[in-house]
Every structure is written in C-alpha cells, then in structure tokens.
C-alpha cells in the first residue's frame, strides 16, 4: 500500500468524501484523487494537512502504508516480529 492508498483506506473507513477531506486539508479534490490513485506524491506538509483532516497522526498514516508493504520487503522470518511491533505501536500513534 502506498501513502495514497492509506489515505483512501482511512477516508473510506471513516465514511468521508474526498471533497470534505480536500477542503479541510486546503487542497483540491482533484489533487487528493490523484494522490489516492498514486498519480501524485504529496509533500510532507500536504501529508500533515491530510492527516489532520482525517483526524489521524502522520505516523499512523505512514504506519498503515508501511504495514501493507512489509511482506514484500521484510525477510519472511522477521514478519511476525514486525507485525507484533506494529500492532503495539498503532494505539500509541493513532
């Protein structure tokens, strides 16, 4: 999962529309759509604004993006350990 997919997942889980999040984040709905589809990579300030609009922390948003990709980039014997660490971190950074 990339950062755009993580944003989309959180937004959909919360049941809010792109337009609402975009307005709260101070960006256009088209730009948010491009971020969510992977067509654009947001800047750090934009990620911070989107996270604030979604009422989640930036670390939580990044953790969600990393969590979905770990099976592709982490050695198989380390995945269970990493999953436990990420599970412990989630409540602390949400």
pTM of the prediction?
0.77
Q: In the chain, what is the straight-line distance between the N-terminal and C-terminal CA atoms, in Å?
A: 18
Alpha-carbon gap, residue 29 to 25, rounded angstroms:
10
Q: In this predicted structure, what is the pLDDT of residue 24?
A: 97
Under DSSP, the state recorded for 74 is: S
* CATH number of 35's domain: 1.10.260.40
Q: Number of folded domains in the chain?
A: 1
Average pLDDT per run of 10 along the chain, which is 94 residues long? 91 96 97 96 95 93 78 72 76 70
- Residue range(s) defining the domain that contains residue 32: 3-93
pLDDT on residue 11: 96
What is the reported pLDDT for 14? 95
For 55, phi then psi, to 5°, come to 60, 45
- Note the pLDDT of residue 5: 92
**Confidence (pLDDT) at 60:** 87
């Amino acid at each position: 999962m990339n950062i755009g997919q993580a944003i989309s997942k959180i937004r959909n889980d919360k049941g809010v529309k792109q337009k609402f999040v975009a307005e709260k984040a101070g960006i256009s709905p088209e730009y948010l759509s491009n971020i969510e589809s992977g067509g654009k990579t947001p800047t750090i300030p934009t990620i911070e604004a989107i996270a604030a609009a979604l009422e989640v922390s930036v670390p939580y948003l990044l953790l969600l993006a990393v969590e979905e990709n770990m099976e592709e980039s982490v050695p198989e014997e380390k995945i269970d350990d990493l999953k436990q660490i990420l599970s412990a971190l989630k409540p602390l950074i949400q």
